[in-house]
Structure formats: C-alpha cells, structure tokens
Amino acid sequence: MIIIIKNWIEDNEYSEVQYDTDTKKYFSCFRDGLKKRHRIEITEDVAEVYFNASKILKKFKHEYERHIEHSEIYDNNLNERAMDKPISLEDEVIRKSTFEDVRNAIEQLPDIQKRRIKDMYFNHYTQQQIADKENTSLRAVQYSLHIALDNLKKILNK
C-alpha cells in the first residue's frame, strides 16, 4: 500500500512524498520545468525534512495571507500614506519661501558660522570633518554651530 502526502509548493503545483508500506521506502514525486513527472527514492531523514519544511511553509503562507488581509483593510488610506504624495501648489510656495528665508538668514551670519552651517547641513560633513578641514578643535566647531543656530533662530523670528 502507498500513502501519498501532497504539499502546496507554488503556483498551484504540487510535490508529493509517497510512503510504500510494503517496502517501507519513501519516494519524492515532482514535475520538472518541462512538466515531466519524476519519482525518486529518498531516505527517511529527507522525508522528515520535507514534512518539517511543509509545516513551515504552511505557517508562512498563513501568516502571509493574514498580513495581506490586514493590508487590504487599509487600502482605502493608501493615498494618504503614499511616500511620494503630490505636493500642492500652496505647499510648494511655502516650501520655497521658507527655503529662501533660511538661505537669506544664513547669508547674514558671520563668515565662519556661515561656512560651517553650509558644510554641516548642505555638504553633509560631520563636525569632526569640519574641524579637520579647518585645522581646529571639534569643540570649537560644535560651539560655533550652536551659536550659528541660535543666530539663525533670532534672524528668522524677526
């Protein structure tokens, strides 16, 4: 007598492990890429790995489907959560105006503060890189940036 255990693999394809109770042997049956059916003998250990993998696959499939169902609940909010939301004309004008205000405020800073702010926030230098570039201490750069930010706040709040 042969016992057949089927398992879902992907795209509605099945593989199966057969156990022949007369010979006490396991066989793996599957279709290859050309849809040709194969049957090969496998050890009991391989069959056990197959059964364990089947359990893991079923668990994963269940969790995946539950995640999809959860995601579908919120599909109506998808546009609100989109990463690349279209920017309204009003928001674009405000953004450009704010950027222009900040740029003008930076231009009013003393040269050292201006240079360090630009290096830090526009050229993406670290404070240590700025200190190395200017042959000064890290603490001097930190202090200068702190004062520069305070000055920017004062200028922008006028």
Query: Does the pLDDT of residue 73 top 90, yes or no?
Result: no
3-class DSSP state of 114? helix
Give mean pLDDT, residues 129-144: 95
The yes-or-no verdict on residue 36 having pLDDT over 70 is: yes
pLDDT at 12: 46
pLDDT above 90 for 80: no
Residue ranges and CATH numbers for the domains of the chain are 2-73 (no CATH), 89-156 (1.10.10.10)
Q: Can you tell me the distance from the alpha carbon of 47 to that of 7, in angstroms, rounded to the nearest whole number?
A: 12
Query: Which has more confidence, 158 or 39?
Result: 39
